[in-house]
Amino acid sequence: MIVAIDGYSSSGKSTLAKDLAKILGFIYVDTGAMYRAIALYFLTNEIDLSDEKLVQDSLDNITVSFENKDGENCVTLNGQDVSKEIRTLEVSQIVSEVAAIPAVRKKLVAIQQSLATKSLVMDGRDIGTVVFPNAEYKFFIIADVGERSRRRYVELISKGQEVSYAEVEENLKHRDHIDTTRAMSPLRQAEDAVCIDTTKVTREEQLALAIKAIESKQL
Ligand code: DC
């Protein structure tokens, strides 16, 4: 069984995905972390994103794997755990450009689909529309950009990163634009997805809304 959760950056989708996975006893898969791992590789190796051949050759040399250790996502890039390194603003600044490259999406969608041998809660931008269009349950998570920026800013500061609120807000708006307008599988709500606006709801309330939607579909 698959629960697909799509939505904007910092909308609360990964919090909901983790909470639902815990309650349902499913594995949580954060697909954004996979795009971030590839972005980290391109950043570290100074790959020119406009050089299609170089990008494809690099992808052929990259192994991204995903493990779920005690409910925590662990993403490895060529065998190295990069779970922490992928969370910087530098990676956030190029990840949407990287995720718009068709060859990158092709590689990661195949990996994501191969994980479906177990019940999953998977979050991302195209899970209910492209990766698992037949998912049993689909959610689309939205929230005001101001509230999303505030959440992301607090998160980065609490991790000791030196960022300003303005930088974080600009980055979110930039990513929203690229994620929703790219040619290949742009972020959009699947027709059969339940939309939850998390701007004014608590973590517990958003979980309750999702569980209610799941229960009402089962009746
Ligand atoms: O969820 P996140 O902010 O960690 O995702 C990072 C970027 O990856 C986001 O800007 C868009 C992209 N992404 C995507 O295009 N498709 C997915 N399934 C997941 C993430």
For residues 84, 135, 2, 41, the Cα torsion angle rounded to the nearest 10 degrees is -20
Q: Are strands 120-124 and 27-30 parallel, antiparallel or unpaired?
A: parallel
Encoded amino acid at 153, one letter: Y
110 SS3 class: helix
CA-proximal residue: ligand 1, atom 5 (nearest): 32
**What ligand 1 atom has the least distance to the C-alpha of 179?**
11
Alpha helices in 61-191 (DSSP H): 89-99, 102-114, 145-158, 165-181
Cβ-in-10-Å burial (0-12, 13-18, 19+) of 57 comes to exposed
Assess whether the C-beta atom of 6 lies below 6 angstroms from ligand 1: no
What are the residue ranges in the chain where pLDDT is below 50? 219
**Minimal-distance CA residue to ligand 1 atom 10:** 96
The pLDDT of residue 67? 84
Ligand 1 pocket, mutate which of 6, 8, 13, 35 (most atoms under 8 A from CB): 35
Q: Is 35 in the pocket of ligand 1 (CB under 6 A)?
A: yes
| Cα(219) to centroid(ligand 1), Å | 33
Question: Which residue ranges form the domains of the chain, and what is each CATH number?
Answer: 2-211 (3.40.50.300)
Q: Is the CB of 73 under 6 A from ligand 1?
A: no
By three-state DSSP, how is residue 153 classified? helix
- Cα separation, 24 vs 210, in Å, equals 12
What pLDDT sits at residue 219? 46
Q: What is the pLDDT of residues 67-98, one digit of tens each?
A: 877 767 899 999 999 999 999 989 999 999 99
Residue position matching structure tokens 């929703």: 180
Confidence (pLDDT) at 95: 96
Nearest CA residue ID for atom 15, ligand 1: 99
Q: pTM here?
A: 0.94
Residue recorded with tokens 């809660």: 121
